[in-house]
Amino acid sequence: MEIYRSHVLCCGGTGCTSSGSAQLIERFEQKIAEAGLEKEVKVIRTGCFGLCEAGPVVIVYPEGTFYSRVRVEDVDEIVSEHLLKGRKVQHLVYTDHASHEQNANKSLNDINFYKHQKRVALRNCGVIDPENIDEYIAFDGYMALEKALTRMTREEVIDEILKSGLRGRGGGGFPTGLKWKFTYNSQADQKYVACNADEGDPGAFMDRSILEGDPHAVIEAMAIAGYAIGASEGYVYVRAEYPIAVKRLEIAIGQAHEYGLLGKNIFGTDFSFDLKIRLGAGAFVCGEETALMRSIEGKRGEPTPRPPFPAVKGLFAKPTMLNNVETYANVPQIILKGADWFCEMGTEKSKGTKVFALGGKINNTGLVEVPMGTPLRTIIYDIGGGIPNGKAFKAVQTGGPSGGCLPAELLDTPVDYDNLIAAGSMMGSGGMIVMDEDNCMVDIARFFLDFTVDESCGKCAPCRIGTRRMLEILERIVEGKGEEGDIEKLENLANTIKATALCGLGQTAPNPVLSTLKFFRHEYEAHIKEKKCPAHHCQKLLQYVITDKCRGCTLCSKICPAGAITGSVKEMHHIDTAKCLKCGACIEKCRFGAIVKI
């Protein structure tokens, strides 16, 4: 193995790839070769670093210098200055949002964004080359599988997972060890292990990042699960929208085969295990476990009633154990370091860490992993760097279309499964979208219902028809046609759907409405009674008025398509709100900032 004096780590996650990290890597390789450094410096494409906001991100080791928003033009300077002469390129070094501090000597872990994090599921993301199995092995990879197969009985493996208190990271939070035990207890000639990588919650991308950054961790965990429950075959169901993840998973499965870590008689034992990839085709409902299995069978992805549970009758009518990507990513560490180590992190009923995808109106968008029980405030302000442009925080949305919006009063809630449910939202897969004063909460509820209506599989009436009726009411409200009694109708429908829908998706579909009604009822009332949108977001409820900044230039009255603006030259103009179409053309044209929306 060659030894290099420096390593240039370039983020190859989806965010950074979208902003051009592939071209960066090419340029680095070219420039390093031109400088004659190819035997001294190695360029590695890693998985996601997490701080997507600063992408494309480059880290130079051994110094650990953190360069952010690197452009192709910057590469020449990094090579000629840093790599050739050993002088860090100060002006490209990452600047901390909160402290405005730019310190080339600061290590990654001292940066605010990383300081509060604890990386278990993401431990290899942004550290190793995901397309090189040797790098995974160098970081204790496949040691857990070796330990399980050669030094633990199947029962001991299941006990360790049970003891760890690990709960499903896909949203439900069901104890993982119990799932393993139920499937272990089922008798059958064939059992299956399956991985849910159909990450459908809008705004969540941790599963994608784990598959892109550390695919072997998932493969290793699935093999351990296969051994524990007695399955020789596994399926990974991945969204087709994740091409990089699929490619890296394919490469990783191929390498694991080559090394004898998948296939027949793994580690010389009589345990054999193989993995297949199945692609989704764009149906949110396939994230639900029974629907996912129907989809792998090549059918319409419609949920089926439980019982029978998948542990008894799942894929191809055989006992099947389905876990989510992030859940699996925790497993090798638990087996290797023990349940006690895992239990030290987290709260009483939620052990370990959780990965969140921070997005929306927040300075540091990206992926963060924190111990369970970390307060929302720490995640949003200390790690996330707060709200941009001096705006006020309004709500944080967790749990995707099944979750809810929490207001500022609840920012000190320690985040775990039970606290979020008690607060009126849920963990979900870990999307965390921050909203500021400009976001209308009624419109956000409408947005999620629109999503649900579109994605409802149509099998059961409460979800198919009920969510549509809710959406119609919400659409009326944001258009200023809300009526007295609409809120009660929404609540009535929501409670009926919750009680009667067939699957988890239908049962949780009303949550975005219920939580916004609970915490932002006044916004609904303002829309319905006063025909006003407090956030000035809903176009149809806005009024355009001309203020005394008007100089009477007549530009607006000429551009107005409705002829709603009147006034003489050099005199203040006036908008007839009855005629106004609220198209915004006048605001764009006004050179004096005299027209405002109220």
Partner 1 sequence: MPDMKEKYDQLQQVIEELKDQPGALMPVLQKAQGIFGCVPMDVQKIIAEGLGVTLSEVYGVATFYAQFTLEPAGKYIISVCMGTACYVKGSQKVLDKLSEELNVPVGKTSADGLFTLNATRCLGACGLAPVMTVNEEVYGRLTPDDIPGIIAKYRELG
Interior angle at CA 135, CA 37 and CA 150, nearest 5: 160
* By CB under 8 A, residue 24 contacts partner 1: no
Q: For partner 1, give the closer residue by CB, 42 or 278.
A: 278
CB 38, min distance to partner 1, A: 30
Alpha-carbon Rg for the chain, nearest whole angstrom, is 27
Q: For partner 1, give the closer residue by CB, 259 or 447.
A: 447
* By CB under 8 A, residue 299 contacts partner 1: yes
Binding range to partner 1, per CB under 8 A, among 70-78, 167-175, 282-290, 474-482: 282-290
3-state secondary structure 83-141: HHHCCCCHHHECECCCCCCECCCCCHHHCHHHHCCCCCCCCCCCCCCCCCHHHHHHCCC
Unique residue bearing structure tokens 């709200």: 387
Binding range to partner 1, per CB under 8 A, among 341-349, 355-363, 379-387, 465-473: 355-363
* By CB under 8 A, residue 300 contacts partner 1: yes
Nearest Cα neighbor of 17 from 49, 61, 39 is 49
Phi, psi of 132, rounded to the nearest 5 degrees: -130, 105
* By CB under 8 A, residue 510 contacts partner 1: no
Among 15, 226, 466, 510, binds partner 1 (CB under 8 A): 15
* By CB under 8 A, residue 439 contacts partner 1: yes
CB 377, min distance to partner 1, A: 19
Q: For partner 1, give the closer residue by CB, 359 or 371.
A: 359
* By CB under 8 A, residue 471 contacts partner 1: no
Q: How many of the chain's residues bind partner 1 (CB under 8 A)?
A: 52
Count other C-beta atoms under 10 Å from residue 548's C-beta: 7
Q: For partner 1, give the closer residue by CB, 415 or 441.
A: 441
CB 83, min distance to partner 1, A: 27
What does the per-residue mask of binding to partner 1 show for 189-208, with x meaning CB under 8 A? ----------xxxxxxx--x
* By CB under 8 A, residue 242 contacts partner 1: yes
* By CB under 8 A, residue 457 contacts partner 1: yes
Beta-sheet pairing, 565-566 with 574-575: antiparallel
3-state secondary structure 508-538: HCCHHHHHHHHHCHHHHHHHHHCCCCCCCCC
DSSP E strands, 14-64? 41-46, 58-61
* By CB under 8 A, residue 274 contacts partner 1: no
Residue 483 neighbours by CB under 8 Å, 6+ apart: 476, 528
* By CB under 8 A, residue 414 contacts partner 1: no
Among 52, 92, 133, 219, binds partner 1 (CB under 8 A): 52
Assigned token pair, 76: 């020449």
Whole-angstrom CA distances from 24 to 20, 71, 357, 426, 591 are 7, 7, 25, 39, 41
Strand partners, 61: 7
Among 196, 320, 397, 508, binds partner 1 (CB under 8 A): 397
Assigned token pair, 547: 């203020």
Q: For partner 1, give the closer residue by CB, 158 or 435.
A: 435
* By CB under 8 A, residue 386 contacts partner 1: no
User: What residue type is 436 in one-letter code?
Assistant: D
* By CB under 8 A, residue 29 contacts partner 1: no
CA dist 416 and 373 (Å) reads 5
* By CB under 8 A, residue 561 contacts partner 1: no
What does the per-residue mask of binding to partner 1 show for 245-264, with x meaning CB under 8 A? --------------------
User: What residue type is 33 in one-letter code?
Assistant: A
Assigned token pair, 208: 């994608």
Q: For partner 1, give the closer residue by CB, 142 or 242.
A: 242
Whole-angstrom CA distances from 91 to 8, 23, 43, 77, 79 are 18, 21, 21, 11, 14
- Alpha-helical runs (H) found in 277-371: 289-296, 325-337, 339-343
Binding range to partner 1, per CB under 8 A, among 251-259, 263-271, 279-287, 525-533: 279-287
Interface residues with partner 1 (CB under 8 A) are: 14-15, 18-19, 52-53, 55, 199-205, 208, 240-242, 278-284, 295-302, 316, 357, 359-361, 365-366, 397, 400, 431, 433-435, 439, 444, 447-448, 451, 457
